[in-house]
Structure formats: C-alpha cells, structure tokens
Structure 1
Amino acid sequence: MQKKLLFLCLFLFVEVITAQQDILSEQAEISVLTIGPGALLNDSFGHNAFRVKDPVKGIDLAFNYGVYDFETPNFYLKFAQGKLNYLIGLNYYEDFFEAYISQNRSIKEQVLNLSQIEKQKLFDYLLNNIKPENRRYLYDFFYDNCATKIKDVTNIALNNSIQFNDPRDFKPQTFRELIHSNLNRNSWGCFGIDLALGSVIDKKATPEEHMFLPKYIYRFFEVATIKNSNKPLIKKSNVLYEKIDAPVPSQFLTSPLFIFGILGGFILFITYTDFKKQKQSVWLDITLFSLTGIIGILILLLWFATDHKGTHQNYNLLWACALNILVIGQLLKQKTSTWFIKYLKFLVILLCLLTLHWIIGVQVFAIGLIPFLIALFIRYLFLIKYYSNRH
C-alpha cells in the first residue's frame, strides 16, 4: 500500500511537470546509475537506472526498468512462460539511493555528455514512458532488461549515434560464462540456471550483447563515443557508495556438489551391494527413472511450452530422459522385455553424448551433477548386465 501511495505521489509530480511543460535548465544532468550485485539470486547481476537531476527546477529522480507487477493475473504462470510484463519504476533519488545503501550494494554514477536538446529529449522520453499506458514491456533476461533498456533509451536520445568501443582488456564470453561470472558455480542458483537454460546460451555474445549485464553497461559506456564528433559519451564518473566487504561463510556442506556427491555415493553403494548379492533394488531404480523422467518433462516444457529463448536446445535431456517415466513398468516385471535392455544401452549412449557435448563446448552443464551422472552411468551398466543375465 505504501509503495502504491509513493508511486501515486511521484506520478502526480510527473503529471505536474508535464502539465507545466517544464523544461530542464542548463544546470540539469542526466546520468546512468550502476548498482552492484546483492545477496539474493535475482540481485546477483546488479541493476541500472537513469538519474535526472536539475537543482534549478528541484528535480532529482531515478527511473529504472526493473519493477515487477505482482498484481498481474496469473503472475507466476506468466513468469514461467516468459510472458510477464515488467514496468518502468520511478523513485525520488534519495529514496532510491538509501534503499541500495541499506543492502550494502555499490553505486556508481556516469554523467552523460549530452547537449541541452538531447537531455530534454531523454527526459521527455522517460516522462512519456512512465505513463500508465506506456509503463509495461515484455521482459527478456538477455535482450530486453533493466540494463539493455538503458542502452536503448540513451541511443534514442542520441539518434542512434553512440559508438560502443571495446573496453580495455575486453574478452568476449558466452552468455553462460557471463552469468557464471556473477555467481558461485557451486551454488543452487547457478545449478538451477545451468539445468533450465539450454545450449543457445553457450554461444559467444557479441560485444554489444554483453550489455545485458549492468556491469557491462558501465564498462562500455565509460569508453563509448558519439559518432562523427568523437565526443566521449560520459562527461564524468563518480563512485557514490562503495560496498563494505564482509566475510562470506562457507556453504559447501549445503552445496549441490556436496549433496549430489552424497546421493551419488549412496547410489554406488546400493549398486555395489546389488552386484555382490546378484539382486536388484527395484525401489532405487523406480526412484531414479521417476526423477529423471519428471525433470526431462519439465525441461521439454521449458523448451517448447514457453516463450523463454534461453531454454531452447537443452541437452540436459541426455541424462534427464523424459521417456524414463514411460518405462517404469518394466522395472516391476518378473521378466523384462528384450527391448528394455536395448533401451538401457540407449541411456548409456546418451550419457556418453552428454560428456562429448560438454568436452567440445556444445553445452556446459552444472558441476554439481558430476557425481550423480557418474553414479547413474554405473547403475545403468549394472542393470544391463543384471537383465542380460536373467535373459
């Protein structure tokens, strides 16, 4: 309720400005704010915003393109489908600043080197964008987010005349490598991303595509120039707040690699026991086939039933085979069909293909899966031998 009231007040303020046809003074400055990563997964990649400051007119506002509309009908379903609209947000700069200070997130400012006409054009664009009928846009993590909007809107103000140059020591990376650079590889957030996103994000991003991450907005803007004039895009840069470093406690005992290491060890122990006693722990195989089958179905849904571009061509299906859910009945029979042994060999081949995909760089998989995949491979080999002997 308080957020709604605040936005209403800010919107009325903007309406007053618009109604008065307010023009920015010569002292006005428009800058790009870059917020450092936060503690939560959705804050791990940082944030960007525009700051419009005019001491003569008493204006000091922050516009940002990263606001959820939680009142959207079927919010979580649309989020999962990739059909969720995001909003442009408006805050008093002081409130915006204090909010990120309280989260101990670094704040950097780059003042844009704009003419008076360009400043007014950018301000007018933001004022028009903040109107209720214009606030929403269809979010895309890689191509249309809080960072890419900063680049696109700035380019509009400058009639697409920005020349983006490569920063010093710039090294092109894949989209997945760029994501990994902001996350602990052995974290559940990174695990979930590597599981849900497909091989399409293992291609090299162009220099400009790196700017889906806020830190690259800062780096590329810092060395950008205006075409034809060779004028720098940034007039000056300031560090408004430096994050206070604090020790991060080790979370290895709850990490994916440790948990799946225990799970993999357990599967290997049961498999070794079954091999020595020449028996089958059917409950384990039903669990494994159910788990991998359900995960495979979810991956297929993310690929074919959503608008997310990053979930396409996901070769996690090579270990999470959706067909597993359909063959569970074979595990319950006294004598399995001959084709089921061939199917188990097919699953082994899929795991070998997964390894090849990983080695040659078609897709990078979650490192936490390694012990589980090894155990799954050995379990399949045991089942092939066990059922072959029974036949």
Structure 2
Amino acid sequence: MPRSAPLIACLLGLLLVAAPAHAVSRPPWGTGESHGEDLVISLVTFSPGDDVASWWGHGSLVVEDQRLGSARLYNYGMFSFDSTMLARYAMGRLEFWVAEASPSGTYRLYRAMDRDVRIQELNLTPDQRLEIGRLLADNVLPENRDYLYQHYSDNCVTRLRDMIDKAVGGQLKQADSAPARMTLRDHTRRYTAVSPPMSVLLDFLMNDEIDRPITRWDEAFLPDELERQVASLQVTRPDGQKVPLVAKHWDFYKSNRTPPPEEPPRYGPWMLLMGLALGASALGLGYWGRRGGRLPRVLLGLEQVVLGLGLGFPGTALLIMWLFTDHTVTYRNENLFLANPLTLLVFPLGIAFIFGSKRARAWLRVIWLGLAGLGVLGLVLKLLPVFNQDNWRLIALILPISLGFAGAFNLERLLARLSAGSRAPGQQPLPSSLKT
C-alpha cells in the first residue's frame, strides 16, 4: 500500500473479488484497427455496497467499437489474494492492477449486488477517443498493469480521472482547481457513516495529512465526485467549440439503497456524553469501592478490560504503523496522546485488579495518571499551529475517560487532601483505630 493510504481504509482491497490476470487478444483500439468516429468511451459509476471494501463505490471506463462490435470494461481495482497479501497489506505495500472484463457481465454483477450502475458517454473527439482507447489497451498489458495503491491519491478512480484529463488537454484539472467543499477526513467520515464504530476507528487512525485544504481535483478520489465533476464540465475542442464533456447519461440499474450523506455525521456531542458517562462511572465505582467492596472492584475492573482492548489495541497499532509501515497517514498522529501502548496495559492489569491484586491497583494508579497527563498535554498543545489535527471528537471521548479513571484510582488521596485542608489549624487527624 501506498504512502498516503490509511490502514483501515485499505480494507478496500481486502474484500474485492480477486482474479488472476489472463492473456487476452489485443482489442481493435489497441492494434490500430478502430476508427475514432466508431468508438464510444463511457465512464461507469457503481454506487457503494454493503461491506467495507465497497463503501466508497467504484468506477470503470468502457470502450466500445460500434463498427467492429467489440467492447471492454477496464477495472483498476484488482489485486491478488495470495499468501503474501496480508503481509503486504499490513506494511502498506499492496499492489493493484487494471484488468479487462465484459461490460454487460459486469453490469449484471453489480445489479445482482443491488448497486447502481450509472453510465456517462463522454463527448470526445475521434482523436481523443482513440487516445483513451490506446492508453487503456496499453495499461492492461502485463508489463504496465500494476501500480501501488494509494487510497486518496492513486486508486481505481483517480486513474480514470487522470486519463480523461489527459485526453481533454488538462481541462478537467484546470476546472477542478477550486477549493473543495470539505476535507478528505470529512469525505471519509460521511462515506463510513454506515458503521459508526468503523467510522470512529478510521477517524482515530488518520493524522492531519487528510485535514489540509484540498481542491475539487483531490475530491475525485471518490467515484461519485468524479461523476459529478465530469457531468458539470464544459470542454473546449481544438476548433474552439465549447461542449459538455458528457454527451448523454443513463442508468443501467438504480438500486433502492440510501446514498452516502452529503455531510459528515455529527458524532462529537454523543462522543462527549459517552466519555463523560464512562469517566463519571469510574469515579462513582471508585467512591463506592473505597472501603474494599468486591462488586465495585469487579465492575471497575471490567470497565478497564473493555477499555484496554477497545482503546489499547488501536493505540498500539497506531504506534506500530508510524514506526514500521508505509502508512504515512498514521505518522505523528496526535491521538497517541489519548491512547497508546500504555492503554493496552490496562487490559491485563484490569483482570488482575478484578481478583484483588494490590500490585495491579498500584500500577493502574500510575498508568491512568500518565494517560490523563498525556491527554491534557495533547489538549494544551492544540494552542500551537502545528498541532492542527481534527481530532476534537476523539478528545471529547477519551480524555474524560482517562481523567475519570485517574480520579477513581487516586480518590483516596484526593479525599485525604481535601479532608486535611478542611481541618482547623493545629487539629490532628483521628488515629485510624478511632475512624468509623
């Protein structure tokens, strides 16, 4: 996988149907047999599906020679599910390739999955059609077909975008130089809104690389965005005539699925409420169990087991991805102030705490103080321009939890200090034997 691809987003490849490359005859537009006026070039957009891999949708280019009765669909979303795939995926070095397929067979497959098949016939000159056809025929050759997948900058849709732009002399990129309506993070969050837990996980794993200002050109890593931009573009032909880039469009199949929301979901208030509730529950259990009760200890320990897994594993994975993989979108991630390998230690210590380990209690006191301190430090550093990652939702969720558990394990000391501060000057504390 690529330099800028996020780990979880690259699950895009994991669930794709992988097919081995096979030798096929060169199409007529690759051998010089086709005439430009006989070719039809179409951009096909497939809507999002049910699983993580298909949440983003998909796109392809179709070339048809109406005189010779030949048509092929070019799909840049292929990869090999072999014994090395998981290792390459984990290290961010997963290769994709372009393959040819039957357009009608592909359309029927997507219809069977209840996914839109929307077709835009491009209004190109004969020479431009020949150029795209030749490029696609060359790209599919074994020596040219492979590329290193990058979710945001080099994927199965950006390859189509670049090819169309080249055919129209850079006019698509020029028209798309205006500022985007939202960041890459916002687009990611709205397309993953179908699964709030996965959406929050992706939000956690990605750094400020996807928060920078982008243009409409950058937004066209998404099939729906490229479709929208192509539909709105007016191109100037060599003779000076200005025409729409799309000659006509139609739906081969329209599904009943709800499309991705136009805006990212507003999880922030709910995440803050959840963080405050978990932090407050830790404080409440700490207060309840300050005299050594078993039930509050077990409940407090169970909370830590769940948090150690739910926050510790992603935090540890985030550090590993920064240090040892090519997933640059995870590097120097501010969320490491909130969850990291220290959080993972809470899992085994929480189990020991349930069984009454005093050593586990002592370690948990130190770890939660450290996590709370790191979380507060990450919040304070937001005052500096360089710490500009859009992670306020994660801060709202995780920082109250860390503060609540730090308070729960230091409650006795805090209450003792408050008690000492409330005594009259010179008044001595009661001996422990007289306390009730």
Q: Does 1:132 align with 2:162?
A: no
* 1:362 is aligned to 2:389: yes
1:366-388 Cα deviation digits (max 9, x unpaired): 67x95565333211122233356
Partner of 2:376: 349
> 5+ unaligned residues in a row in structure 2: which ranges?
1-16, 260-266, 418-436
Amino acid at match of 1:212: F
CA distance in 1, matches of 2:405, 2:183: 34
The yes-or-no answer on 1:28 pairing with 2:55 is no
1 CA distance for matches of 2:381 and 2:198? 22
Matches of 1:137 and 1:26 in 2, distance apart? 31
Give the conservation status (yes or no) of the 8 Å contact 2:282–2:405.
Answer: no
> 2:211 — aligned with what?
202
Q: Which moved more, 1:175-184 or 1:128-137?
A: 175-184
Taking only the aligned residue pairs, the percentage that are identical comes to 20
Aligned with 2:402 (options 348, 360, 376): 376
TM-superposition CA deviations, 1:107-150 (whole Å, max 9, x none): 22222222222211211111111111211100000000111101
Cα distance in 1, alignment partners of residues 136 and 35 from structure 2: 13
Equivalent positions of 1:171-186 (< 5 A) are 172-184=181-193
**Cα distance change, pair 137–230 in 1 and its aligned pair in 2 (3 A):** farther
Which position in structure 2 is the counterpart of 1:219? 228
CA distances 1:65-123 after superposition (whole Å, capped 9, x unpaired): 1112213x520121122210001021111111111111222222222222222211211
Q: Distance in 2 between matches of 1:139 and 1:390?
A: 58
Give the partner amino acid of 2:156. C
TM-superposed CA distance for 1:365, in Å, is: 5.6
Q: Is the 8 A contact 1:315 1:363 kept in 2?
A: no
* 2:190 aligned with 1:190: no
Question: Could you tell which deviates more after superposition, 59-68 or 286-295?
Answer: 286-295
Q: Residue by residue, what CA displacement relative to the aligned partner does 1:17-54 show, whole Å, maximum 9, x if unpaired?
A: 47854223522111111111112222111111111111
The two structures have a TM-score, normalised by structure 1, of 0.79
Paired letter, 1:99: L
Tell me the residue number matched to 2:13. Answer: none
283, 287, 290: which is aligned to 1:275? 287
Q: Matches of 2:122 and 2:361 in 1, distance apart?
A: 74
Q: Does 1:310 align with 2:310?
A: no
Amino acid in structure 2 at the alignment position of 1:69: S
Q: Partner letter of residue 332 of structure 1?
A: R
Instruction: Give yes or no for the alignment of 1:148 onto 2:158.
Output: yes
SS of the equivalent of 2:329 reads coil
Distance 1:287 1:88 in 2: 45
Alpha-carbon distance in structure 2 between the residues aligned to 1:19 and 1:106: 29
- Can you give the 5+ residue segments of structure 1 that lack an aligned partner in the other structure? 249-254
Question: Match for residue 411 of structure 2?
Answer: 385
Aligned-residue Cα RMSD (Å) equals: 4.1
The count of corresponding residues between Structure 1 and Structure 2 is 375
* Match in the other structure for 1:96: 106
1:81 aligns with 2:100: no
Q: Helix, strand or coil: the match of 1:70?
A: coil
Does the 8 A contact of 1:348 with 1:381 survive in 2? no
Residues 300-309 or 86-95, more deviating: 300-309
Output the CA distance in 2 between the equivalents of 1:26 and 1:264: 66
Q: Judging changes above 3 Å, is the alpha-carbon distance between structure 1 residues 62 and 190 closer, same or farther for their aligned structure 2 residues?
A: same
